[in-house]
A and B are shown apart, each in its own frame.
Chain A
Amino acid sequence: MSYSSAFSQTYKDHEIKAAFIINFGKFIEWPASSLADNRFVIGILGPDYFKGTMQIMVRNKRIGSKEVFVINFITTDEIQKCHILFVHPDMISQMDEINKKVGKFPTLIVSNYNNFCVLGGMINLIKKPNGYGFEINKKLAEGKGLKLSSWLLRLARVIE
């Protein structure tokens, strides 16, 4: 029995992806120091991949006790401290600059691009026969001090 078709009918692809991004925030624990200002920031690099739905979806939503903010960075230069950074597939070529810009801040870098995790990404959204799944570069994420919940790992394809 398949129910995923029902989701695809109800939700558009970018809506599902936006939900994934927000939910990562819920299943990953950030170091306390990064959350000192009581804000949880989601950054979107490049053109708005989610066509403004992310902003709508985080309205009145909290991750833990934190208020959620969405910031769109058009260029890598604009990148500020954020807990999750979604990299537009078109910007993958600038991964080095992005990493440099993020620096030591425990930012979860997410994208939707083939082999993203091999290319230095932490979570990559992937298309599956019945909807969407994700890959995680566990070493990389944990190296940044992020704690991945078992629920998340169970669903993910872990890339070493």
Chain B
Amino acid sequence: MFVNLNDISIKYKMMFIILFIFIVTGIFTTAVMVTYDIHASKQKMEVDLRFLAETISTNSWGALSFFNPQDAEESLKLLAANTDIVEGRIYDKDLKLFAYYTRDDNKVPDQVSEMRIERSVVNFDDEYLVASEPINYDNEFLGVVSIVSDMKSIDERINKYFEIIAIVSSLTLAFVIVLSLFMQKIITKPILQLAKTATQISKDGNYSIRIEDNRKDEVGVLVKEFNNMISHVQITNNHLKASKELAEESMLVKEQFLANMSHEIRTPLNGIMGLSDVLINSKMNAEQTGYLNAIKSSSYSLLVIINDILDISKLEAGKLVFEETEFNLEKSIDSVIGILDFKLINKSVMLTKELDENLPINVIGDSVRLNQILLNLVGNAIKFTEQGKITVGVVVLSKSDDKVELEMYVEDTGIGIADEQKQKVFESFTQAKSSTTRKYGGTGLGLTIVKNLVEMHGGIIKLESEEGKGSKFTFNLAYKVPEESKVRREVLDVAPAQRNLENVRILAVEDNPINQMLVKKVLSDWKADFEIVGDGKKAVESMEMNDYDIVLMDIQMPIMDGYTASTHIRKMAAPKNEVPIIALTAHVTSTERDKCLSFGMSDYISKPFKPADLYNKIVENLDENQKSI
């Protein structure tokens, strides 16, 4: 089993290190002491043995001189006093054994007992010490005494030594463990404290916390550096916060600016387009009608460009929301062709549609965005095609009860796009060549918006093109298919002549005189029973005095704005508080739409509106109100 050292807690590492040092020191000390003790004991034993041998030698003079082994053996009995001695021998001058002593019939190996005449102490295998001493008296050699000692006492001493060391070590070990448990806290405690603080900081995000610890050791350095790091993080964090706030603020300012821009530009455009319509419908000669159509077309182009700019900013902010309404696909394509047809007047180009026969009549999705895609693609195709034809086609890729997947394409016989430019044309503010911009104009945003819109629908847009021969943009979109039983809203397709709001009581609140004129014209055409007031305050007063079926409410007005007026209306007694209010505003952001709804308004239409759109909104909301009643 192998344990990674890094995974073991410092606590145990410390204990291990302390114990390791203790054990190594203990073993070393014990080894030295035991070695020394053995050495010293042996030396002492040698000295003792030699002294004994000398004594016995002296005591044996008489015995050897007078052939008295009994007396020699008596002398040898002295050895019994020393329990280490296992054997004693006295040899005579002929080196024959003269006297013998043995303790406990101890068997000493022959090679140990072997006699030595010279004075010596010999060590046998660390098991026996043999001391030999020649016996001389009056210059005469009488014999030899030889004493054998075993080392059991030394062994016993060493054993005893180890026993004591074992006991002392165990006690010390226990002490060291307890001590190291306290010691390790000195190191691990500040580290754990550090970790705890770090956790606290990351949990609370409070980077002003500092660890108060003025120790000067390594942990102190760690703590100091930790504090420094947190200071840096705090500073950086504050910078980032400030930057984020600034960015968010800038974003808000930008949005506000866009909203204002949109309002400021759309209001006059609304007037131009609306009044052009009014004039076209009045009695005009052909030349005048032509001019008015040109005015209308120019205004429309301007509106498209403004919408492009607003859309691209919304796309980039990710704020675009798709609606899900039921619409007629073929009619959408027809309307795109109808809108752009006038651009073909001076060109020998034929604009046609090719529809799959399996195409469902109605689908559910965002018709406005589809129109935007097609207007851009067809608009481009017209712009870059001088002669030949432009085809808008729809192929059904798959179809189930509630879903249809379509492939749509816009094909032209125009100037085409070079291979190396194909990818670039989808980037913002890019056209195939800068010379293209000079020749054909345009913002360069169209294809970027188209690509984004398709991709946000979950589709892919592809471009096939050959320079000089033409281009084909293909994209796929998936739509829900409404149930067969569901009745189409005929109102959506009501022709202008058939629009009728007879007996519908409408309160229009609008401060701009041109817009007032426009509202007055369309509502009169639809035979509605209406009243126009110039600000929110007058609107509230009118509501109090009269009964209305629906309110058209401008937002930006003097004296009292649309939000406040709506709030007042919603506070009135029933059923006045339930009257549908349609906001008419130049603010086209989704924020604005949410704001309108939050002030109690029922629906929303952006200016400049097309009369048909307004008509549909009014009818829808009247229906809704009747349903809820």
The judgment on whether A and B are partners is yes
A16-B62 CB under 8 A given contacts A26-B138, A64-B138: no
CA distance A61 to B140 in the complex (A): 9
- Which of B62, B98, B100 neighbours the largest number of chain A CB atoms within 10 Å of its CB? B62
Task: Specify which of B61, B67, B139 is in contact with A4 (CB 8 Å cutoff).
Answer: B67
CA distance A3 to B67 in the complex (A): 10
A4-B69 CB under 8 A given contacts A26-B137, A64-B138: yes
Give every chain B residue within 8 A of A134 (Cβ-Cβ).
66
A56 lies within 8 A of chain B by Cβ: no
Task: Specify which of A10, A20, A130 is in contact with B66 (CB 8 Å cutoff).
Answer: A20
Least Cβ–Cβ distance between A42 and chain B, in angstroms: 15
Give every chain B residue within 8 A of A155 (Cβ-Cβ).
62-63, 66, 68, 71
Give every chain A residue within 8 A of B62 (Cβ-Cβ).
27, 149, 151-152, 154-155
B484 lies within 8 A of chain A by Cβ: no
Q: Tell me whether A3 and B97 are in contact (CB under 8 A).
A: yes
A3-B69 CB under 8 A given contacts A63-B138, A64-B138: yes
A151-B61 CB under 8 A given contacts A1-B100, A10-B94, A62-B139: yes
CA distance A63 to B140 in the complex (A): 10
Within 8 A of A (CB), among B58-103: 61-63, 65-71, 94, 96-100
Give every chain A residue within 8 A of B97 (Cβ-Cβ).
3
CA distance A16 to B96 in the complex (A): 16
Q: Tell me whether B70 and A130 are in contact (CB under 8 A).
A: yes
Give every chain B residue within 8 A of A10 (Cβ-Cβ).
94, 96
Within 8 A of B (CB), among A21-72: 23, 26-27, 61-64
Residue of A nearest to B63 (CB): A155
CA distance A151 to B65 in the complex (A): 10
Give every chain B residue within 8 A of A4 (Cβ-Cβ).
67, 69
CA distance A132 to B69 in the complex (A): 11
A133 lies within 8 A of chain B by Cβ: yes
CA distance A134 to B97 in the complex (A): 23
- Which of A3, A6, A26 neighbours the largest number of chain B CB atoms within 10 Å of its CB? A3
Q: Tell me whether A6 and B96 are in contact (CB under 8 A).
A: yes
Least Cβ–Cβ distance between B589 and chain A, in angstroms: 130
Within 8 A of B (CB), among A80-129: none
Q: Tell me whether B65 and A26 are in contact (CB under 8 A).
A: yes
Give every chain A residue within 8 A of B138 (Cβ-Cβ).
26, 62-64
Residue of B nearest to A6 (CB): B96
Least Cβ–Cβ distance between A15 and chain B, in angstroms: 11
Give every chain B residue within 8 A of A26 (Cβ-Cβ).
65, 137-138, 140
Give every chain A residue within 8 A of B96 (Cβ-Cβ).
3, 6, 10
Least Cβ–Cβ distance between B143 and chain A, in angstroms: 12
Give every chain A residue within 8 A of B67 (Cβ-Cβ).
4, 7, 16, 19, 131-132
CA distance A10 to B94 in the complex (A): 10
Interface 0/1 of B430-446, CB less than 8 Å to A: 00000000000000000
Give every chain A residue within 8 A of B139 (Cβ-Cβ).
62
Interface size on B, residues (CB 8 A): 20
Give every chain A residue within 8 A of B69 (Cβ-Cβ).
2-4, 130
Give every chain A residue within 8 A of B68 (Cβ-Cβ).
131, 133, 155
Residue of B nearest to A149 (CB): B62
CA distance A151 to B139 in the complex (A): 17
Residue of B nearest to A63 (CB): B138
Q: Tell me whether A3 and B98 are in contact (CB under 8 A).
A: yes
Give every chain A residue within 8 A of B61 (Cβ-Cβ).
27, 151
CA distance A25 to B40 in the complex (A): 44
Least Cβ–Cβ distance between A156 and chain B, in angstroms: 9
CA distance A123 to B466 in the complex (A): 157
Q: Tell me whether B70 and A154 are in contact (CB under 8 A).
A: no
- Which of B63, B67, B69 neighbours the largest number of chain A CB atoms within 10 Å of its CB? B67
CA distance A129 to B71 in the complex (A): 14
Residue of A nearest to B102 (CB): A1
CA distance A7 to B69 in the complex (A): 10
Q: Tell me whether A23 and B66 are in contact (CB under 8 A).
A: yes
Give every chain B residue within 8 A of A130 (Cβ-Cβ).
69-70
A23-B65 CB under 8 A given contacts A1-B100, A64-B138: yes
Interface 0/1 of B94-127, CB less than 8 Å to A: 1011111000000000000000000000000000
Least Cβ–Cβ distance between B63 and chain A, in angstroms: 7
Least Cβ–Cβ distance between A98 and chain B, in angstroms: 24
CA distance A104 to B187 in the complex (A): 102
Q: Tell me whether B100 and A154 are in contact (CB under 8 A).
A: no
CA distance A154 to B66 in the complex (A): 11
Least Cβ–Cβ distance between A28 and chain B, in angstroms: 12
CA distance A54 to B139 in the complex (A): 19
Give every chain B residue within 8 A of A7 (Cβ-Cβ).
67
Give every chain B residue within 8 A of A1 (Cβ-Cβ).
100
Within 8 A of A (CB), among B180-235: none
Residue of B nearest to A132 (CB): B67
CA distance A149 to B66 in the complex (A): 13
Give every chain A residue within 8 A of B65 (Cβ-Cβ).
19, 23, 26-27, 151
Q: Tell me whether A154 and B98 are in contact (CB under 8 A).
A: no
CA distance A20 to B62 in the complex (A): 10
Q: Tell me whether A154 and B71 are in contact (CB under 8 A).
A: yes
CA distance A23 to B138 in the complex (A): 10
CA distance A154 to B72 in the complex (A): 12
Residue of A nearest to B58 (CB): A151
Give every chain B residue within 8 A of A61 (Cβ-Cβ).
140
Least Cβ–Cβ distance between B266 and chain A, in angstroms: 142
CA distance A135 to B71 in the complex (A): 16
Give every chain B residue within 8 A of A27 (Cβ-Cβ).
61-62, 65
CA distance A104 to B573 in the complex (A): 175
CA distance A146 to B13 in the complex (A): 87
Interface 0/1 of B119-151, CB less than 8 Å to A: 000000000000000000111100000000000
CA distance A24 to B100 in the complex (A): 25
CA distance A152 to B61 in the complex (A): 9
Q: A3-B69, A152-B62 are in contact. List 19 more A-B contacts (CB 8 A).
A: A1-B100, A3-B98, A4-B67, A4-B69, A6-B96, A7-B67, A10-B94, A19-B67, A23-B66, A26-B65, A26-B137, A26-B138, A27-B65, A62-B138, A62-B139, A131-B68, A151-B61, A151-B65, A154-B71
A-B pairs, top 4 by smallest CB distance, nearest first, are A151-B62, A23-B65, A3-B69, A26-B138
17 contacts between A and B (CB under 8 A): A3-B69, A3-B97, A3-B98, A3-B99, A7-B67, A10-B94, A16-B67, A19-B65, A27-B65, A61-B140, A63-B138, A133-B68, A151-B61, A154-B62, A155-B63, A155-B66, A155-B71
Residues of B within 8 A of A (CB): 61-63, 65-71, 94, 96-100, 137-140
